[in-house]
Structure 1
Amino acid sequence: MQARPGALQVGSFRGVPIRVHFTLLLVLPLLAFSFGAAFQQAASAAEVPPETLGGHPLLWGLGVAVGLFVSVLLHEMAHTLYALRHGGEVHGITLMIVGGVSELAETPKRPRDEALMALVGPLTSLGLAVVLGLMTWLMHGLGAFQWQFACFTLAMLNLVLGLFNLLPAFPMDGGRIVRAALTPRLGVVKATRVAAGLGRVFAVLFGVWGVVSFNPFTLVIAFFVLMGAEAESKQVRMRVALERVKVEAMMTPRVVGVDLDLSMLDAQWALRRERVAALPVTNAGRPVGRVTWAAVQALPEPERGGRMVRDAMEDGVVVALHEDGWTALRRMAEARVPLVAVVDEEGLLAGTLDWNDLQRGMNRAEQEAERDGTRAGWQRERPA
C-alpha cells in the first residue's frame, strides 16, 4: 500500500524504498538511556570487566539502539527478499518505534507461502544470534573486550527479536504463521480473528508487565501490538468483503467527465454540480486524468476562465467494470487518490468509484454474507 505518513526514505534494497518513521527518533534516546542504566549488568553477563570498556554507558546504549534497528532492518529485508523471489511486490520497508514492517502489495494467497514468508524473518534473526554468539565465544581469552561485548549484546538482541516475532499473535510473524495454519480449516477471516485475539491478549500482558516493572517501552510495545492486531483484522475483513463485489455494482454511474479542452471555470462548475472533490478528465469519452477542487482553488478566480483543464489535470487511476472492489482500493491507496475512473470494455468512461462507494459496497457484502451464514446455520439446525 501507500507509504506511511511521517516516514523519511533513507535508502533502498532491490529497488524497495527503506524508510525511517519519526517515532524511531523518539525511541532511540529511550533505548540508549535504558541500556545505559543496565550497562554494568550487561557487561557482567558478557563476562567482560566494565572498566575495560571505553566510552560513556549512554554512548554504548546509543550504539546498541542503532544495532537493534540494523538487526530489525535485516529481519525485514529477509521478508522482502523472500517475497521478491516468489513473485511478490513490496512497496517499502519502514523502521518504526517497535520494529519494522515490510509493506506488501498483497498478502500471499496460499497459506503455505504466507507461513514461509513470515518464518524467514525470525529465522534470520535467530541465525544472526547464533553467528554473533559463536563470535563472542571465540573471543573469550583474547582480551578483545569491546568486540566481545558488542557481539554478545547484538547476539542477545537478535535472539530476543527472533523469539519475540515468533509469538503466536498479530502483528508478529508468529501470528501470520498461526493464521496460515488455521486458514485451511477456518477460512482467512476466522483465522485472522483468532490471531488478532491472541494479539490483544499479548498486548494486555505486555501492558500489565510494563506497569508492574515501570517500563515505559513495554507499554509502548503493548499499545502498538494492540493497534497492529486491530488493523490486521480490519484489513482482512475489508479485503474478503470487497473481493466479493465487482466494481460495476459499487460505482457511481458517470458517462461524462470534464473534457480535456474545457476551462478550469467549467471544471469548477462541474465539481460544484456533482458535489465531489475530483472528477475524471476525458478525451473523446476516455479518461486521461483527473481534475480536483484543490487545483481549482489554487488558481485565482479571474484566471480560471483562461486556464485549460489539460494544463491543470493530475494523473488518474483506472479500473474496469469486471474488476473487484479490493483491486480498486489497492490502486487508490498506491496512487494516493480519492477516486478512480471506471471504464467499460472499450475503455470509455462508465463511472467513478470513491471511498464512500467502497464503504457501501463492503457493508452490503458483509450483510449478505451474514444473511447467508445465518440461513446456512438455520438449515443445518433444522430437523430432518
Structure 2
Amino acid sequence: MRARPGALQVGSFRGVPIRIHFSLLLALPLLAFSFAGTFQQAAGAADVPPGSLPGHPLMWGLVVAVGLFVSVLLHEMAHTLYALRHGGEVHGITLMIVGGVSELAEVPKKPRDEALMALVGPLTSLGLAVVLASATWLLKGLGLFPLQFAGFTLAMLNAVLGVFNLLPAFPMDGGRIVRAALTPRLGVLKATRVAALLGRAFAVLFGVWGVVALNPFTLVIAFFVLMGAEAESRQVRMRVVLEHVRVATLMTPRAVGVDLDLSMADAQWALRREHTQMLPVTNGGHPVGRVSWASVEAIPEDERAGCMVREVMEDGVVAELCEDGWTALRRMAEAGVPLLAVVDEEGLLAGTLDWNDLQRGMTRAEQELERKDSRTGWPRERPA
C-alpha cells in the first residue's frame, strides 16, 4: 500500500522506506517533559545519585525520547526482517506512538506465519531490555553513573515497549497473535472483530487512566489504540467482502475510452458526455493510459484543439474481469491511481473501476454476506 498520510520519510532499511508518523513526533516531546518531571525518581530507581548526572533533566528527557525512537525502529525492523526472509514484500516502515507498522503487500495467509511475524517485534524489544539491564548491572560500582542511568532507562523503555505490544488487542502485536489463534475456529473476520473489540476496551481503560492520573501521554495512546483498532477492523472487513466479488460485478461497463490520437478538446467533450472526471486512453480498443478533467483544465482553452491526448495522458493501470475486488483495490492503492481500466480476455477495454464503484459494490456485497451470515456464518479466510 502507499505511504500513510501524516508520515515523513527519514531513511530506508534494505530498500524499505522508513517513515515517522506525526503521532510519534507528538509523543516524543510529551515523553521528554514527562520524564523530566520524574527525573529524581528515575535516578533513584537506577540506583544513581541525581547529583552525579550532568545536564538538565530536560536533556535526559530528550535522551529518553530519542531512545524510544531507536527502540521502536529496532522493534519494527525485526518484523520487516522476518517478512523479507520468508518471501514477503514490505512497502514501508511507519513508526507510530503504539510501536509502528510494517506495510506489507499482503498479510500472511497462514495464521501461524502472522503470529510469528507479530511475535518477533516484542521479543526483540524484550531481548534488548535483558541485554541493556545486564550491561547496567555490570556497570554498578564502577562510578560510570551517566552510562548506568542511560542503560537502566533504555532497558525499562524496551521492556515497556515489548510488554505493551503483547497486549492482546489491535493495533498491538498481541492483537495479531490473538487473531491468528482464533482464525482457524472463527474465520479471519470474526477473529478480527474480537481483537478489535479488545483494542477498544484497552483504549477505554487507557483513557480513564489518563484522565484519573492527568497524564496527557496516556490519553494520546488511548486515542491511537482506538483509531488503530477501528482501522484494522475496517480493512479486514473490506478484504473479506471484496475477495468474494469479481471486478466484472463491480465495474462500470465502458467499451469506449478516449482514443490516443484525439485532441484534448475531444477529450473534454468525452468527459462531459460520460459525466466523469477521468477516462481511459485507448489505442485500437486497448487501454494505454488515462486522461482526466484536471489535465484538460491545465491546458488553455484555445490550445486544446491542437494538443493531442498522447502528449498529456498519464500512465494507466488495468484489471481483468475475472479478478477479485480486493486484488484490484490493492493494485489501485500500490500504483497510486484513482481509476483502473478493466480489460477482457483479449485485452480490450470492458469498463472502468474507481473508488465509487468499489464502495457501491461493497455495500451490495455486505448486505448479501450479512444475510448469509445469519444462516451459515461469515466466509472463512481462503486457504494459502
Instruction: Please say whether Structure 1 and Structure 2 have the same fold, judged by a TM-score greater than 0.5.
Output: yes
Further displaced range: 303-312 or 62-71: 303-312
Amino acid at match of 2:95: L
TM-score relative to the length of structure 2: 0.96
Alignment of 1:307 with 2:310, yes or no, is: no
Q: Give the whole-Å Cα distance in 2 for the aligned partners of 1:123 and 1:104.
A: 20
- For 1:155, the equivalent position in structure 2 comes to 155
Which residue identity does 2:103 align to in structure 1? Answer: E
Matched positions, count: 377
Tell me by how many angstroms 1:6 deviates: 2.4
Show the 5 A alignment for 1:1-384.
1-376=1-376
CA shift digits 1:169-191 (9 cap, x unpaired): 00000000000000000111110
Q: CA deviation at 1:244?
A: 0.1
What residue identity is the alignment partner of 2:164? F
* Comparing 291-300 and 90-99, the one that deviates more: 90-99
Give the partner amino acid of 1:77: M
After TM superposition, give the deviation of residue 334 of structure 1 in Å.
1.3
| Residue of structure 2 equivalent to 1:381 | none
Q: Distance in 2 between matches of 1:328 and 1:162?
A: 36
Question: Once the two structures are superposed, what CA deviation does each residue of 1:26-74 show, in whole Å capped at 9, x if it has no partner?
Answer: 3322111111111111111111111111111101101110110110011
* Matched letter for residue 125 of structure 1: S
The code of the aligned residue for 1:240 comes to V
Report the AA paired with residue 284 of structure 1: G
Following the alignment from structure 2 to structure 1, what is the Cα–Cα distance between the partners of residues 28 and 130?
25
* SS in structure 2 of the partner of residue 146 of structure 1: helix
Q: Does structure 2 conserve the Cα–Cα contact (< 8 Å) formed by 1:136 and 1:151?
A: yes
In structure 2, distance between residues paired with 1:97 and 1:310: 46
Quote how far apart the aligned CAs of 1:372 are.
2.2
TM-score, structure 1 as length reference: 0.96
Does the 8 Å contact 2:98/2:172 carry over to 1?
no
Output the CA distance in 1 between the equivalents of 2:131 and 2:361.
52
What is the one-letter code of the residue matched to 1:70?
Answer: V
CA offsets, 1:316-353, max 9 Å, x none?
11111111000111111112211101111121111100
Distance 1:19 1:375 in 2: 45
Contact 2:76 2:99 in 1 (8 A): no
Q: 1:172 to 1:98 in 2, by over 3 A?
A: closer
Structure 1 residue matching 2:280: 3-state secondary structure? strand
- Relative contact order higher in (CA < 8 Å, ≥ 6 apart): 2
Segments of 5+ residues of structure 1 without an aligned counterpart are: 378-384
Structure 1 runs (4+) greater than 6 angstroms displaced: none
Is 1:69–1:99's contact at 8 Å kept on the other side of the alignment?
A: no
> Where in structure 2 are there 5+ consecutive unaligned residues?
378-384
CA contact (8 A) 2:28 2:65 kept: yes
What is the CA deviation profile of residues 243-302 of structure 1, one whole-angstrom value per residue up to 9, with x for unaligned ones?
Answer: 001111111111111111111111111111111111111111111111111111111111
The one-letter amino acid of 2:156's match is: M
SS in structure 1 of the partner of residue 100 of structure 2: strand
The answer to which of 264-273 and 202-211 deviates more is 264-273
